[in-house]
């Protein structure tokens, strides 16, 4: 964290059953976007593979992403037509599950939710579909091989995705899984052996509000079982070469906290309302002596603000001292903060002329959306009773003080 001392002013300080298991990283990123300040969401950064890579429009329409993992399923016996035990019942964890992700720097914990929204693969037959059925046309063979149509048509509760591709002995399919349940295909002919070559799955994420998260990298893992009786099942006789699938989540938060002063904004001269003439000409002591210093703030995260006095602390927890350049006289002054619309305090209230406190007694503020270079102000205002105690008619003096205002995103 940086600190700079200035004359009566502000400087910003920024403080973002197998012996193996398949692992797949799921990565998402939040960066504030000045062109879309109200879009407070993570963007998926995991490269699509499998279904969504081949048919991106299908996934874009449903805001889903897909992964292909090298898990292969092999049948342990022939598949007998009509046998209840040989129904190819496909099931995936389509219900929402939660996983804790931990900030690697701060230890803060957040919750991510994930559901599997689609499933697909290539089934590979031990012979051509046409020969297994006793026809000459490959497509007809795939269509007649199953009692409830070819695998492009998803059995309920799975849903049709519009995707299907075949060779003489293989068929690529993909089904949407809006709810969790068994999606069963029944063979109409004997199949000596078959396999599923890979495992494709689509997923949806629910991520935390990034504006309420600290900057940094959050990681966590969620494991699924694969195979008969597991989270991912392709049929009671279909055994995978990996019995476990682990999703490793990596959420990166890159926040912005930037405060800009106009040129010369680090030196401020305080004056009464209407100037000094009423006192000089009429002898009327001022009732308020202050100066508002504007600034521009860009912020996408909660932050805290406090002040450090350069000369010495005032008698109050919200004041600093300024000293006469020609005597030992001192006067106290406040530093008051006004933030732009869209940033509130911890109680959800707007921030207008809010007194800053000394270090250790800071206030925390929260943007409701990304605030991009919006105007705020600092008011430096004399505690008028202390000023009246030290001024004398006919005696001109110059008082000077220092204050450092610290902005810190490490809340």
- Consecutive 10-residue averages of pLDDT for the chain (411 residues): 30 34 92 88 93 88 88 97 92 98 96 97 98 97 95 96 93 96 96 97 94 94 97 97 97 95 91 79 80 96 93 82 88 96 95 91 91 96 84 74 92 76
Quote the pLDDT of residue 411. 76
Phi-psi region of 107 (alpha: psi -120 to 50; beta: other; left: phi over 0): left
The Cα 371–Cα 260 span in angstroms is 13
Q: Residue 394 has what pLDDT?
A: 58
How high is the pLDDT of residue 326?
Answer: 86
Which tokens go with 133? Answer: 């059925």
Q: Give CA separation, 239 vs 45, 72, 73, 75, in Å.
A: 32, 8, 5, 6
- Categorise residue 311: left if φ over 0, alpha if ψ from -120 to 50, beta otherwise: alpha
CATH 2.60.40 domain locations along the chain: 257-408
Determine which helix (DSSP H) or strand (DSSP E) holds 62, and give its type and residue range.
helix 56-62
pLDDT at 15: 30
**Residue 157 preceded by cis peptide, ω within 30:** yes
Beta-bridge mates of residue 121: 173
Enter the pTM of the model.
Answer: 0.81
Is the CATH code 2.60.40 the one for domain 257-408?
A: yes
Tally of residues, the chain: 411
Distance, CA of 129 to CA of 292 (rounded, Å): 82
pLDDT at 357: 92
Nearest to 199, CA basis, from 11, 24, 4:
24
d(CA 113, CA 92): 16
Residue 57 parent element (H or E): helix 56-62
Spatial CB neighbours of 374, under 8 Å, sequence gap ≥ 6: 296, 297, 298, 340, 341, 342
Q: What are phi and psi of 56, to 5 degrees?
A: -60, -30
Q: How far apart are CA 63 and CA 115, in angstroms?
A: 13
The pLDDT score that the predictor gives to residue 20 is 55
Q: What is the pLDDT of residue 13?
A: 28
């Amino acid at each position: 964290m940086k600190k700079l001392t200035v004359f009566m002013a502000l400087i910003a300080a920024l403080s973002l059953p197998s012996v193996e298991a398949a692992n797949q990283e799921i990565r998402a990123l939040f960066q504030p976007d000045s062109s879309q300040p109200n879009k407070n969401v993570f963007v998926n950064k995991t490269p699509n593979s499998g279904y969504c890579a081949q048919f991106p429009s299908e996934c874009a329409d449903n805001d889903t992403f897909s992964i292909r993992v090298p898990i292969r399923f092999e049948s342990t016996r022939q598949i007998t037509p009509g046998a209840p035990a040989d129904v190819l019942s496909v099931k995936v964890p389509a219900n929402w599950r939660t996983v804790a992700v931990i900030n690697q720097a701060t230890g803060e914990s957040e919750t991510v939710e994930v559901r599997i929204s689609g499933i697909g693969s290539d089934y590979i037959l031990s012979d051509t579909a046409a020969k297994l059925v006793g026809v000459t046309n490959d497509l007809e063979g795939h269509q007649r091989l199953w009692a409830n149509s070819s695998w492009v048509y998803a059995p309920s509760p799975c849903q049709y995705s519009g995707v299907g591709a075949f060779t003489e002995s293989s068929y690529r399919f993909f089904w949407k899984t809006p709810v969790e349940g068994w999606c069963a295909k029944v063979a109409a002919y004997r199949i000596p052996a078959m396999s599923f070559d890979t495992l494709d799955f689509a997923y949806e994420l629910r991520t935390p509000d990034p504006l309420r998260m600290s900057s940094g990298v959050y990681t966590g893992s969620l494991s699924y079982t694969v195979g008969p009786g597991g989270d991912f099942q392709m049929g009671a006789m279909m055994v995978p070469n990996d019995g476990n699938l682990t999703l490793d989540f990596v959420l990166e938060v890159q926040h912005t906290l930037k405060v800009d002063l106009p040129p010369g904004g680090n030196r401020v001269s305080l004056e009464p309302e209407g100037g000094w003439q009423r006192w000089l000409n009429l002898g009327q002591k001022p009732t308020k002596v202050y100066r508002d210093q504007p600034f521009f703030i860009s912020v996408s995260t909660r932050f805290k603000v406090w002040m450090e006095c350069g000369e010495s602390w005032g008698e109050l927890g919200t004041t600093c001292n300024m000293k006469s350049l020609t005597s030992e006289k001192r006067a106290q002054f406040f530093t008051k903060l006004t933030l732009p619309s869209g940033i509130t305090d911890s109680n959800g209230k707007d921030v207008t002329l809010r007194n800053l406190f000394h270090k250790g007694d800071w206030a925390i503020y929260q943007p409701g959306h990304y605030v991009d270079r919006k105007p705020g102000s600092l008011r430096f205002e004399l505690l008028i009773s202390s000023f009246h105690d030290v001024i004398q008619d006919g005696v001109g003096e110059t008082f000077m003080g220092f204050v450092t205002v610290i902005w810190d995103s490490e809340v």
